[in-house]
Each structure stands twice: as structure tokens, then as C-alpha cells.
Structure 1
Amino acid sequence: MSLQALQQLGLAAVLLAVSVVFGLNTAGFADLGNLRNILLDATPTIIGAVAMTFVIVTRGIDLSIGSIANVAMATAVVLTGTKVGVSVVTETGFAVYPVALAAGLAFGLLNGWIIVGLGVNPLIATLGTLTLYRGIGLHLTEASLYSVEGGLLALGRGQFLGLGLPVWLALALATGGGFALSRSVVGRQMLALGGDPRSAVETGIRSRRLILLVYALTGIAGALAGLIIVGRVGVLTSELGFGFEFTVITAVVLGGTSLFGGRGSILGSMLGALLLTTIQNGLNLIGADPYLYDVVRGLVLMVAVSIDTLTTRLSRRQRASPV
């Protein structure tokens, strides 16, 4: 069994153990309705984690995905919504979806261009756009709370076969993303680029196009996450997407994707997202301090990064040692 498979198996075991502990000690956790809510709550993180996996396997990072969710939704609601009365209540049609996705794509491509066109380190580039995009979103909405109605609610609140539409969308994207990463030519090129950038370029891999592609994917994923979140709660606030990037990155690293590039798993990222959501749900049900989740998430990220660092060092030593 490969190291990646062992990591996924271990993560699944942890998810099961956490679920059992909460189920035995928390009233209502194991109810079917609550389990459905966990799946639904996890969908934005799963969608973001699928795209972020592609970024991280190429040795990149995107700290702006939460801000893209914010600015894409602000752009879409302001451009397509119609204010009702004197309050900020906005009636939206289905045009909000293509506008939000187009905005997410544009902001994602801008990230990619800054990185490949200007040669800026991905961490610095997306740290800058994290603030830039959030500022644009605040300017567009004037930091107001928008209550939304109409077509925007269809995706977030729609149901199919007893599950929310976002759950089916997340499953479809995770399945397609897993196939693309492990079985397609482009996926193998991304892994090769992250594993050894110089060798990848020497073999003819068009690294600039791949980097633009992965940041375009996170832009679209950020917009999709925003559509789901706002569609579910029916409100667009200035806090939309705040901290979302760290939840997504934690899920990806927890799932076995290496921050050093060249190794990643969509299935692992999805399990990581489910684990984080399950922990948050359980803590909410037991009435824990709402800030405790940030502590847990930070600890989980530190453990995951430490394991990734140790695993990478061990792998390099094994490759370097004589046979």
C-alpha cells in the first residue's frame, strides 16, 4: 500500500473516530438531518479544496480564494440584482451565476498573471490580492448587508434525492478532479511540475499555462463557494469568505497533499474538508466556545504540516541513499 493510500486510510479512520465520539456524547449529532447538514456545510470547503489541491501540487498557494468568493458575489449581486424598496434587499435572477463565475475566473487569472507574468512569489502575490479583492468587494457593496432573494437561492437551497444540490455538485467536481489529477495528461504534468520544476520545463511542459490554469480553477471555485454560501443563508455580508482560505488549505494539507509540490490527492482533500466540518459541527452542538474551532483548526494545520515535512524529508533521504 502506498504512503498516500495509508494517509487517506488514516484520515478516514480519524473521521470515523471523531464522528463516533460526538455521536455518543452529543445529542442530535447522529441524526440523519444533522449528518445531511454536515455534508452540506462541507461543500464550499470541498469545492475550494479540489481547486487548491491543483495549486499546491504545482508548488503554489492561493491565499485569496476567500476574498475571491467575496468580490465575485459582490460583483454579481451589484450588477444583476435589483434593489427592493429603501432597504438593501436584492432580487436576483439566474444571471447572477454566470456573472459570479466570470468574475471569479477573471480574478483567478489575474493571480496567475501576477505570478507568471511578473514573477512574483505565489505567497506574496495572493497575500496582496487577498486584501485587494476584499477591498474591492467592500467598495462595491459599501460594506452593507444585502438580503438576497430570487434565483441566487436556487443552488444553495435546492434538493435532489434527499440531498442538497451543492452536495451533488461537490461530489461531481471531486470525482472529476480526482480523475483529472491522477489519470489525465494535464494532471500528470502538474504533478511533474511540482515535483521538479526544472526537469518539467526541460521535458517540454508549458509551465506558464499550467500555472494560469490552476489559479483560474481556484478563482472559479471561490465564486462557486460564494454562490453556495450566500444561496444557503440568503445574505451577502462583508464577512463572506473571511478565513475561508485557511480552512481550505488545512483540508488539503490534512488530506496528504504536500506543500512542497509533486504529491496530492483529491480524495484526501475531500476527507480533510469533511473532518474539519464534522469537528466544527460537533463543537457547535456541545456549545463550545465559538473561537475554539480556530484553535483546533490551527493545531490540525500544524500537525499536518509537520507530518508533511517529515514525510518529504524521509522520502528525499530514501531517494538519496545508495541501493
Structure 2
Amino acid sequence: MRRRNLQKMQILVLGAVLVAISMLFAQRSAGFADWGNVRNILLDASPTMICAVAMTFIVITRGIDLSIGSVSNMALAAAVVATGTAAGLSAAVAYPVALAVGAFAGFVNGAIVVWVRINPLIATLGTLTLFRGIGLHLTGATLHPIEGPLTLLGRTQVFGIGLPIWLAVVAVLCGAVVLGQTVAGRHLLALGDSPRSARETGIAGNRLLLAIYTIAGLTGAVAGLIVVGRVGVLTSELGFGFEFTVITAVVLGGTSLFGGRGTILGSALGAILLTTIQNGLNLMGSDPYYYDVVRGAVLMAAVSTDTIMTRFAQRA
């Protein structure tokens, strides 16, 4: 009960910070509060929100996936789409191929963590470089214009709202239901709270880990397709640094790096907050590199807060 109250308080605080920052940017920039800009914020936040759902599952189990923004999920999946289209494949073939590649990359991460028993940080750091290298080889490290049906995922409108926003909402709702209302969600929390106790009680921890890393790869592929569809070009820099944005959103949303605690809604709010800050700084004409400073400061603050709250909970 105490843990749930703590999570609710974190979400309320995060929501209040989001409102306060939005009001500040609205005062400093006349176009910030326009519906068109709000829609752009949600569109820009959608890939992060989608990936944050899977990352929340992973971090809850005391894991991490540094490759979610690399070739294994975004750039590699998008590269397969681009090369497949160049070979004459239709979007109906290219999309499933891209999603399959992303899911397989995630499965490889899970297999290394589960079967080879390498620390997730080291395992995904290695696959980050490996998969990005494969993507560079597939694309020849050159620009690939993306046109026609392959832009549909990023540019389609449904009831006047971009399809990526709807996908993000569905992902967040499904993730929240899985984590809060299903046996699998309770097992994930138990696995992160005490891996040894969870296995002793018969929880199939290895299968859960394989599943969530595979889902992370799949969500990364979806995010890559959204970004490529909106930008209209595939570059070697696609997804570079994206993993840190996702991890920051998850930790900022109240998911503990020590495992056993986290909320999907908090991760989604964290993603929107980071995107809001970036959007507001852009409208104010700030140095584009200043956002990295802000993101780093936010991550350090979130990690420090998580550490303090974890120690406080252990003492209590």
C-alpha cells in the first residue's frame, strides 16, 4: 500500500511539473499553447512513449536496454524497410520484415541476458554497436529517401490526430493493464523485487525476460518506422541517443533502477515532459545542444531521487 501511495505521489508531482513548465513556455512563446504545437509535441513524444512501455518492464526487473535506440530496433529495422523497398518489395512486405527484425534483435538481447548470463548493461552495450554496424552496412552509411506507403505510419491522420499518437495511447493502456492487472505484471514486479525469491516460488523468470526484451525490440522497430515516416529520410544517425531519452523518461516517471517498482503512466508522462522541454527550448530559440544539458540534469536528478527514496523505503 505504501508503495502504491508513493507511486501516485510521484505521478502527481510529475504532472504538476509538466503543467508548470508548460505554463512557463506558454508565457515565453506565443505559439507554444497553439493546438498545432501541442499536437506536434504529442507526435514527437509518441516514439518515446511506445518504447518507454517496454523499457519500464525491463527496468522493473533490474535490467536495461541500451540498444533500443540503435540499429537493433530503429535504424536496423528502418534500414531493412529501405533496402527491401529498393529491391521492389511493397510496404505490406517491408513493414512485417522491419517489425520481425526488431523483435528478433530484442530476442537476441534477451537470449544473451538469460542464457549467456551477461549483465544487461554490458550485453546491450555490445549489441548497440553490433546492430548499428549492421545497419550501416545495409544502408552504405548514405541517405535513403523514404516515400509513398512507407510514410503512412508516421503521417496518417485518424480523426484529425496523428496515427502515432493513437499507437502510443494503445501501447500505454496495454502496458498499464499488463503491469497492474495481470499475473505476468505481478511476476515482473516480484522478479525485480527479489529475483531469487521469485524463482524459488516457481516464477518463470527466464521466459518473462525473453518476452520483455523481445517486446522492446518490437517497440523500437515501431518507433523507427514512425520517425522515418515523419522525417522522410533514413540516415545513419537515426536513433542515435534515443535510448537515453527513453531511459530518462522511465526513471523520471518513477520506475526504480533497483527494480520492483514502476508505472507505465509515469513513464508516458516522463516522455511528454522531456519532449515539452525540447519543444519549448526550440521555440525560444535556445542552443539545440542545451537540451542535452537539461536532459542530463533531469536524469541525474531522477536517479538521485530514486536512490534516496529506495533507501528511505528500505529503512521504513
Category of TM-score, reference length = shorter chain: over 0.9
What root-mean-square deviation, in Å, do the aligned CA atoms of Structure 1 and Structure 2 show? 1.1
Residue type of the alignment partner of 1:303: A
Quick one: which of 216, 221, 227 aligns to 2:225?
227
In 2, distance between residues paired with 1:62 and 1:92?
31
Question: Does the CA-based 8 Å contact 2:80-2:94 persist in structure 1?
Answer: no
1:94 is displaced (CA, Å) by 2.8
Q: How does 1:1-323 map to 2 (within 5 A)?
A: 2-67=5-70, 68-82=73-87, 93-318=91-316
Give the match's secondary structure for 2:146. Answer: strand
1:82 is displaced (CA, Å) by 4.2
Residue type of the alignment partner of 1:276: L
Give the match's secondary structure for 2:147. Answer: strand
Residue type of the alignment partner of 1:108: G
1:81 is displaced (CA, Å) by 3.2
Residue type of the alignment partner of 2:83: V
Deviations 1:229-262 (A, max 9, x none): 0011111000000000000000000000000000
In 2, distance between residues paired with 1:155 and 1:76?
13
Residue type of the alignment partner of 2:302: A
Give the structure with the larger helix fraction: 2
Unaligned regions of 5+ residues in structure 1, if any? Answer: 84-90, 319-323
1:92 is displaced (CA, Å) by 5.3
In 2, distance between residues paired with 1:289 and 1:180?
40
In 1, distance between residues paired with 2:253 and 2:295?
14
Deviations 1:206-248 (A, max 9, x none): 1110110110011001100000000111110000000000000
Identical amino acids, percent of aligned pairs:
63
In 2, distance between residues paired with 1:27 and 1:251?
27
Deviations 1:77-110 (A, max 9, x none): 2123348xxxxxxx85232211111000000000
Question: Does the CA-based 8 Å contact 1:70-1:240 persist in structure 2?
Answer: yes
1:115 is displaced (CA, Å) by 0.7
Residue type of the alignment partner of 2:256: S
1:76 is displaced (CA, Å) by 2.3
In 2, distance between residues paired with 1:311 and 1:204?
30
In 2, distance between residues paired with 1:93 and 1:191?
38
In 2, distance between residues paired with 1:4 and 1:20?
24
Residue type of the alignment partner of 1:208: N
Unaligned regions of 5+ residues in structure 2, if any? Answer: none
In 1, distance between residues paired with 2:84 and 2:121?
31
Q: TM-score, normalised by structure 2?
A: 0.97
State the 4+ residue runs in structure 1 displaced beyond 6 angstroms. none
Residue type of the alignment partner of 2:314: R
Question: Does the CA-based 8 Å contact 1:57-1:190 persist in structure 2?
Answer: yes
